[in-house]
Amino acid sequence: MEALEKAKIALRAHLLANKDKVAAEFEQMRKISKGKDISNYLDAISTAFSFDYLPTPPEIVYEYSFDEYGSEEIHYENIGFKTCFLPNGGKHVQKKTLEVYQGLFFLIILQDDRRKKSCIYV
């Protein structure tokens, strides 16, 4: 939608040119407003997160020898997020690397929601 992109640019120009005036007018509106807004929603989302809500794949036991561990490529076909969040779609990722990425995945969700616009719509 181009209109919203153009609107954003136009609003930015307007805000920068009228910074103090707009800030003061919004302060007035804040005083007469009663409800919650998107910022409250974001705060609620960030504190409401629980690992209980995450779907978990069935547990699969892989048995590798010492030599295989850390050197062989492992296929994690039962882990759904690999294609979205791992390099090369997770096709050639070693097990240790994958564990690191699993940890990062949760941190990304928790810490990056203010920067990635789609993340606020959980």
Partner 1 sequence: MEFTVQHTCSKDGEKEDITSKVPFLSKYDPSKGQLPFLGEGYYFWEYNLEYAKIWGDLHYDRQYYVFESDVEIDHNVDGFYLDLAGNRKHLVGFVDLLREFELIHPEGTKGVDLCYVIKYLREACPEEVFPFKVIRAVDYKNSEKLGIKIDFTGRGKDPSFTILNPRIIISYKNKGDIIYKKPPYITFTS
Q: List contacts with partner 1 (CB under 8 A).
A: 1-8, 10-12, 14-16, 19, 22-23, 25-26, 29-30, 32-35, 37-40, 50, 52-53, 117-118, 120-121
Nearer to partner 1, 8 or 92 (CB): 8
* Shortest distance in whole angstroms from residue 18 CB to partner 1: 8
Nearer to partner 1, 7 or 104 (CB): 7
* Shortest distance in whole angstroms from residue 67 CB to partner 1: 41
Nearer to partner 1, 11 or 104 (CB): 11
Q: What is the DSSP string of the chain?
A: -HHHHHHHHHHHHHHHHSHHHHHHHHHHHHHH--S--HHHHHHHHHHH--GGGS--PPP------TTTTTTS----TT-TTHHHHSGGGGTT--HHHHHHHHHHHHHHHHHSTTTSGGGG--
* Shortest distance in whole angstroms from residue 6 CB to partner 1: 6
8 Å CB contact between 62 and 70: no
* Shortest distance in whole angstroms from residue 110 CB to partner 1: 18
8 Å CB contact between 15 and 90: no
Nearer to partner 1, 17 or 61 (CB): 17
